[in-house]
């Protein structure tokens, strides 16, 4: 009887440790962050509805017909997690993962 109890305790410990490791690994995985991309005017304000949705900056830059090439200083597109930003939302100060710049002039 004692060996059965030790076996059950060992099984419970192994299961608990395994579950803990799996949930920790899942929590540490980097999540795909697709954004909604808006065109931006010369005043760094969004214009209209998103032109791309659920895409990363790298995916936008890989588009063959992209309007922005990220080579200039002025912001051209703004990426947001929101799919319904009001027109005129400020994109000023957006970090580099959430902005694509105009081609160099």
3-state class (DSSP) for residue 71: coil
Give the tens place of pLDDT for each residue, 34-68: 999 999 999 999 999 999 899 999 998 888 777 78
3-state class (DSSP) for residue 68: coil
Q: Where are the domains of the chain?
A: 1-30, 35-101
Tell me if 56 sits within 8 A of 102, measured CB to CB: no
Q: Would you give the distance in Å from CA 49 to the centre of its chain?
A: 19
- Residues 6 or more apart from 90 whose CB is under 8 A from it? 44, 45
**Cα gap 39→25, rounded to integer Å:** 37
pLDDT, position 69: 85
pLDDT, position 80: 95
According to DSSP, the β-strands at 99-101 and 35-40 are: unpaired
**Cα gap 67→101, rounded to integer Å:** 10
Give the tens place of pLDDT for each residue, 66-105: 778 888 888 999 999 999 999 999 999 999 999 999 876 5
Report whether pLDDT(29) > 60.
Answer: no
């Amino acid at each position: 009887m004692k060996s059965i109890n030790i076996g059950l305790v060992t099984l419970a410990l192994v299961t608990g440790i395994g579950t803990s490791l799996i949930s920790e690994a899942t929590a540490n995985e980097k999540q795909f962050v697709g954004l909604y991309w808006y065109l931006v005017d010369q005043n760094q304000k969004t214009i209209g509805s998103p032109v791309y949705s659920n895409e990363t900056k790298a995916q936008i830059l890989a588009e063959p017909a992209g309007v922005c090439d990220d080579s200039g200083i002025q912001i051209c597109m703004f990426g947001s997690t929101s799919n319904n930003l009001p027109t005129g939302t400020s994109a000023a100060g957006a970090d580099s993962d959430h902005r694509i710049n105009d081609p160099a002039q």
